[in-house]
Chains A and B, each alone.
Chain A
Amino acid sequence: MQQSRARLFKEYKEVQREKVADPDIQLVCDDTNIFKWTALIKGPSETPYEGGVFQLAFAVPEPYPLQPPQVRFLTKIFHPNVHFKTGEICLDILKNAWSPAWTLQSVCRAIIALMAHPEPDSPLNCDSGNLLRSGDVRGFNSMARMYTRLAAMPKKG
């Protein structure tokens, strides 16, 4: 418990330091609970998520960093590896490929990379995966962009 707390505090300090360095990620720790974090990430450019801002929720387990944090999308997203309803993310580093050298910040970077490079062969969102697997990139892009507009962009006017 004490170890994970100390490590999360270091990460908190690092985040304060890096804020300027990585404008695509904004990590915020819960005011009262250092084991709860949220992040805002920018949709990567040249993807249907471009222009969107997506919110992630982190639940850090007590044995962290020996166990990975649980991360899910709070913002709705149409992506083969994200569960459409729960926001659960299928990403190897969040499961068996986890390494304690990852940080919350680097997990965010990995999720941004996953947004740019979906893995349609291990889908949590089958509709989305099937579009890509059948080669309908246009169909996939238009669905994903629609949901980005609907859920991840501030409403104007």
Chain B
Amino acid sequence: MSAKEIAGESKSVDDGSDRDPCPICLGPILQESYLDTCFHKFCFNCIKQWIKVVSSKVSKELSSVKCPLCKTDNISIIHNYDGHSFDRHYINRNITDGFVLTKEQRYRLLCYYAESGLLADVFDVPRFWKMQKCLQPNRLLETWLRRELQALMQEEDVDIVLHHLVGVMDSFRKRIEWRPKKEARTAETDQEQFKAVVAEAARPFIMARTDRFVDEIELFLASGLNIEAYDAIYKQRLGSREMGAANVARGEDNERTIVTPYLFLFEEDSD
């Protein structure tokens, strides 16, 4: 082996970025992303460019792409993974185009990313548990849950997760309903257990936002409101706060309205 070759070799070992390169550019991976089935790793831009090339060769809309390394069919690229959540870039843009979050769902996402406890003073959550209102089935829960799940998971078909969660909540309710009187727990224990059980069921799907999601379920149930009314309250709180912030920025903070307390009327209605 010549000296030049040895030098070349040691140089290549030093270059750590080359150890696990992107198979397309052969450089270090930028914006690490994975194909959803075979989990081969590429730069986000490299694999996106390749998909563009592939789709330009076919007349039909592409719904999947073969992995450049193993030829496995994949329908999306997973990227922006931060340990908790990730984004999905579908090969067939119609999947995302076909399922666009509604205006309400986009607004709900905003709610999930707003600070928690925003509505803590509006609804009487402890009373909900003390009165064992959780024993009353909520007819609106499924519809509401579907919307929330679709928004949080950014997927249209959430049936499996929805039924899973509803089932978990139903069985929790039955356990409380049927347990002997002497085994009755405090409202706080019930509340804790409920949240723990629902969180455990939701976490694999909702991940980083799970705790917030469980708080929202509790809040929605405790509110006893229908979906529109529940949203209206959020809009009053969050919307007016945002508007307030904007107004301050423009130096005209004369219109920072506070939520009107008519909500408690609803609560009495709910019985």
Q: By the criterion CB–CB under 8 Å, are A10 and B27 in contact?
A: yes
Q: By the criterion CB–CB under 8 Å, are B49 and A66 in contact?
A: yes
Q: By the criterion CB–CB under 8 Å, are A10 and B1 in contact?
A: no
Residue B23 at the chain A interface, CB threshold 8 Å: yes
Q: By the criterion CB–CB under 8 Å, are A101 and B21 in contact?
A: no
Count contacts on B: residues with CB < 8 A to the other chain. Answer: 21
Q: By the criterion CB–CB under 8 Å, are B8 and A100 in contact?
A: no
How long is the Cα–Cα vector from A13 to B5 in the complex, in angstroms?
Answer: 11
How long is the Cα–Cα vector from A3 to B46 in the complex, in angstroms?
Answer: 10
Q: By the criterion CB–CB under 8 Å, are A7 and B53 in contact?
A: no
Residue B115 at the chain A interface, CB threshold 8 Å: no
Tell me the minimal C-beta distance from A61 to chain B in angstroms: 12
How long is the Cα–Cα vector from A63 to B56 in the complex, in angstroms?
Answer: 14
B49's nearest neighbour on chain A, judged by CB, is A66
- Per-position contact with A for B1-23: 1 when CB-CB < 8 Å, else 0? 10001001100100000100101
Q: By the criterion CB–CB under 8 Å, are A11 and B8 in contact?
A: no
Count contacts on A: residues with CB < 8 A to the other chain. Answer: 20
How long is the Cα–Cα vector from A22 to B71 in the complex, in angstroms?
Answer: 25
How long is the Cα–Cα vector from A67 to B54 in the complex, in angstroms?
Answer: 10
Tell me the minimal C-beta distance from B14 to chain A in angstroms: 12
With beta carbons under 8 angstroms apart, the residue of A16, A96, A99 that contacts B8 is: A16
Residue B38 at the chain A interface, CB threshold 8 Å: no
Q: Which residues of A contact B144 (CB under 8 A)?
A: none
Q: By the criterion CB–CB under 8 Å, are B68 and A7 in contact?
A: no
Q: By the criterion CB–CB under 8 Å, are B24 and A6 in contact?
A: no
Q: By the criterion CB–CB under 8 Å, are A17 and B12 in contact?
A: yes
Listed in ascending order, the chain B residues whose CB lies under 8 Å from chain A are: 1, 5, 8-9, 12, 18, 21, 23-27, 46, 49-50, 53, 57, 66, 68-69, 71
Tell me the minimal C-beta distance from B77 to chain A in angstroms: 15
With beta carbons under 8 angstroms apart, the residue of A3, A13, A16, A101 that contacts B23 is: A101
Q: By the criterion CB–CB under 8 Å, are B69 and A17 in contact?
A: no
B57's nearest neighbour on chain A, judged by CB, is A96
- Per-position contact with B for A76-104: 1 when CB-CB < 8 Å, else 0? 00000000000000000000100111010
> Which 4 A-B pairs give the minimum distances between C-beta atoms?
A10-B26, A101-B23, A99-B68, A101-B68
Tell me the minimal C-beta distance from B5 to chain A in angstroms: 7
What are 13 contact pairs spanning A and B, CB under 8 A?
Answer: A6-B25, A7-B25, A7-B27, A10-B27, A16-B8, A63-B53, A65-B24, A65-B25, A96-B57, A99-B68, A100-B50, A101-B69, A103-B26
| A10, A13, A100 interface centre (most CB from chain B within 10 Å) | A100
Tell me the minimal C-beta distance from B202 to chain A in angstroms: 38
Q: By the criterion CB–CB under 8 Å, are A100 and B12 in contact?
A: no
How long is the Cα–Cα vector from A66 to B69 in the complex, in angstroms?
Answer: 14
**Chain A, range 9-43, C-beta contacts under 8 Å to B:** 10-11, 13-14, 16-17, 19-20
A17's nearest neighbour on chain B, judged by CB, is B12
A19's nearest neighbour on chain B, judged by CB, is B5
Q: Which residues of A contact B68 (CB under 8 A)?
A: 99-101
Q: By the criterion CB–CB under 8 Å, are B21 and A100 in contact?
A: no
Q: By the criterion CB–CB under 8 Å, are A66 and B25 in contact?
A: no
| B1, B27, B57 interface centre (most CB from chain A within 10 Å) | B27
How long is the Cα–Cα vector from A139 to B66 in the complex, in angstroms?
Answer: 40
Tell me the minimal C-beta distance from A106 to chain B in angstroms: 11
Contact A10/B8 with A66-B49, A101-B68 known, Cβ cut-off 8 Å: no
Q: By the criterion CB–CB under 8 Å, are B27 and A17 in contact?
A: no
With beta carbons under 8 angstroms apart, the residue of B1, B27, B53, B69 that contacts A6 is: B27
